[in-house]
Structure 1
Amino acid sequence: MKAIYADYTISMSEFKRNPAQVLRTAGEKPVAVLNHNRPAFYMITPKLFEALVEEAADRDLVELVRSRLASEDQAIEVDIDKI
């Protein structure tokens, strides 16, 4: 059985009846829409989606910084006032 990463779940048929009501009921929480008792998709608000995208971008930046710190011996010192 797959894990469900949402506080709310709803069947596909119930979701199709009134998706706007599902969104209102869930508020800012994600909703797992189930098909045959398995997650078919997750419904999230734009605010939550933006937060997830920002988190992913931050993680990418952390990886970049760590990789650059690991190769610190190749760094070139620069005087920003002379640029």
Structure 2
Amino acid sequence: MENILARASIGISELKINPTATIEKAEGPVAILNRNKPVAYLIPARAWEAICERLDDLELAEIIKARSGEQAVSVKLDEL
């Protein structure tokens, strides 16, 4: 049995009937099921934007870690 990583779920057949109602009812992630197995997740736009922002932050943190041993370069504002 697979874990469902959402508080709510809906069958794919039911989603096809009225996707707008599902989106409007969703207060968080919704697992889309096919034969009682999760095949996709529907998440609110705000949640997706927060995820993307967090991934960007993690990527920048990795760049900072990789460069932490490098020598600093002095630059004047006029040179930019």
Q: After TM superposition, is the score higher than 0.5? A: yes
Q: TM-score, normalised by structure 2?
A: 0.82
Shift of 1:25: 1.1
Shift of 1:30: 0.8
Counterpart in the other structure of 2:55: 56
Structure 1 stretches (4+) deviating beyond 2 angstroms? 79-83
Relative to total residues, which structure has the larger helix share, 1 or 2?
A: 1
Report 1:1-83 matches (<5 A).
1-27=1-27, 29-69=28-68, 72=69, 74-81=70-77, 83=79
Quick one: distance in 1 between partners of 2:22 and 2:13? 12
Unpaired segments ≥5 residues, structure 2: none
Shift of 1:2: 2.5
What number of residue pairs does the alignment pair up? 79
Unpaired segments ≥5 residues, structure 1: none
- Deviation string 1:20-41 (CA, Å, 9 cap, x unpaired) is 11111113x0111000111111
Quick one: distance in 2 between partners of 1:16 and 1:52? 26
